[in-house]
Structure 1
Amino acid sequence: MDKYAIGFWGCYFGAAGLMLAGSVFAYIRSLRRIAVNAAASAVASTFFVVAFLGGLPISDGATLDRFLAHVASLVSVLLAYLLFSILGILRNPKAQRKALVLLAALALSVIATGWAFSPQQALLLSLAGAMLLGFVAMAFSLRNALRGDRLAWVAVSGVLFMLVAILGLSWMALARGHVPWQAHAVTALAGTAYLATMASVLWTRYSYLIELNRVMAHGPAYDPVTRMRSNSETNNMVSAAFKHHRDQPVPLGVIVVTIANLYVLEKLYGLAAVNHALFVCAGRLRRSVPTHIEMGRLGEDGFLLLMRNCDDSGDLIHLARRVQAALSRSVVLNTTLDAGAAPNQQTRWGAEVGVGVLRVSKTDSLAASAVGTGRGMSRAALGYPSRIAWFDESSGEIVDMPVLAD
């Protein structure tokens, strides 16, 4: 095989390896159906490629053609079934059984019919069946896409790449590998593109199941917009922390963040833009805050961060500054529900962030009082140059934090 061809096929096998590694990760996360689909797609496709490239230890040409005919029928049926499963066509057990019976009957009939012909003719018959099944899969994908399933459009392109790869590999098998390296390049790239599109479809399903698992596990305690604790669960978290504080008096640090311009954003651009803004702000919070800090959503326009064992108020103030700086950066928001919105359906927005910071050391402090004080401080901080209000527990005064020079 030409060195250029080896390079392109190396790209394909690398993509297959990554897909297989991703399936192992999904399996570890207990998403076994997605993991099995991904692994089966990667292994079956790779075996098909290896067989048709002449990588099997079969020296007799007739035996090889007969074996490749069986491989073409079985692998095409398997990949079609996996695609139908990913697209949601086989949601109920009855449809699954019917599809399994029909596809198995198709594969067995093609294989049985092939034995009435010469090995090479049997191979051509199996390849024709594989192409026909590919066109059927494309028809189903296109039907779902026209019905509004955007994921099906990715599947349509994936099936198209698969058909191109089958054509190229068929040529290589029939010509016993005597084809130009350009054919290898096109075929390998088509195979890689097929794996990439199927991986993207599986990842979409995988991320949806992760989100669904979180919602099912936490219920009302989980906020799907910010992917944090919900408002009620945040209050429960603070109450539990203050109860523990009374039993074991260790200072607590509370940071309350208020985003003042969400209401205006909703009036101008709608709820989709607000949800996008909250999603981005929550993501920035997670990246800015150390792992030992507990946090959650507070009300409709804010977040609460809780630092246990807050012996050093300097760390608390430093964290508040970091949070305020991270959330104040501007972001481009979608104003429609389409995640891939055009530039004229987007707007640049910057959050008006106020931060209230208090350190609680008194054992008679109440959780509700601390949260209420923090909310009031965060709103008052919107009028401060630093946008950060600090509660001095010893004097009972709320003061503006000095603005640090850049």
Structure 2
Amino acid sequence: MQKIYNPNRSTWSEILKRPTQTLEDIESTVLDVFNQVNINGNNAITQFTEKFDKVLLDSMLVSEEEIDDAKQLVSKELKEAIILAKSNIEAFHAAQKTERVSIETVNGVNCWQEKRPIQKVGLYIPGGTAPLFSTILMLAVPANIAGCKEIVLCSPPDKEGKINPAILYTANLCGVTKIFKVGGIQAIAGMTFGTETIPQVYKIFGPGNQFVTVAKQLATKFGVAIDMPAGPSELLVVADDTANASFVASDLLSQAEHGKDSQVILVSTSKKLIEEVESEVTKQCAVLPRKEIAQAAIANSKLIYVEKDTQALELINEYGPEHFIVCVADQDFYVDNIVNAGSVFIGNYTPESAGDYASGTNHTLPTNGYAKQYSGVNLDSFMKSMTFQKISEEGIKSIGNAIEIMAEAEGLQAHKNAVTLRLNSLNS
């Protein structure tokens, strides 16, 4: 990890740069896949699955038999862990329900807002080197609480044409309506346009690599909404001498093992802690099964020393981390003043992996600095706010003249007429 001491503010943008490819490196590939899927549907999906996932499928739709088989392959202990996590996630997201907001703005003018579910949603679940069945909990659970009618899931198959049993078990447990063995760009394209087999959806959720992230962004050009531009995982820890160096190192490595393009950063007011954490990272990384991946991510990562908490906070808000761990004596300073972070983990006994799995919060979060303007996935992500208004005779008299004046000032005579006709009918 690169150690940086008291960086000048003018260098922050360079120091905090993510290890991602530029859009130009990826967009042409994504656009080609989208065009092919739009034109050729299932045939294109099958061809790209063979090209990228190295398997030729007879059917991309997961059968009931495959789901039943998967249930038998998941251990009792894992099932119990998944059920516990599901319960906590349900509790936290159900608590986010809000009642109808209603007000009479003036006599006779009643306005209210209600939330309605998005009818058709698509969930993308990475498979690859780490089958993220936990992401199904984070997406399908709130989708069901919201009342989404159709929940479509896509996940890449392995070279035998199968999806990890834990993914199938969790998807079935959480009420997913259809599961497809499709990954990568072609999965996002399939849910964007719809094919002979894959339904078109209204909004796509889920993390992925840089190609999936760009594919989701491209989907918005074809009338499909997305949760956020969620790309490679990242973590920033702020820590001082009160932190446990081995805990901090384990948190950094927990994100580094996600992928070679992940990034982890430690910001500290203690040079001693930085040295201890660096040593712990080396020691712990050496015994990880995903050591090669973690080492590649660590190479993109930073250990940054600053003298004051105020400097640290300013730098952290500039970065806008996906995950932010606070392990300092003055926790309140950071908790009260952080404005750009996807999810915050407070104290030595709050590992980021708790949020990834079972604390109840959602782990689908904005990366690449998008925490400055995006929220993580929550119950409202699966809903739309609709406004209503009902105006009585008294109400139109109260606001009618103001509407006429404003419409005329904008040169919109038909708008004015829609009010004038009503007012005249009441005066006749």
TM-score normalised by the chain length of structure 2: 0.25
Larger radius of gyration: 1
TM-score normalised by the chain length of structure 1: 0.26
Task: Name the one with the larger strand percent.
Answer: 2
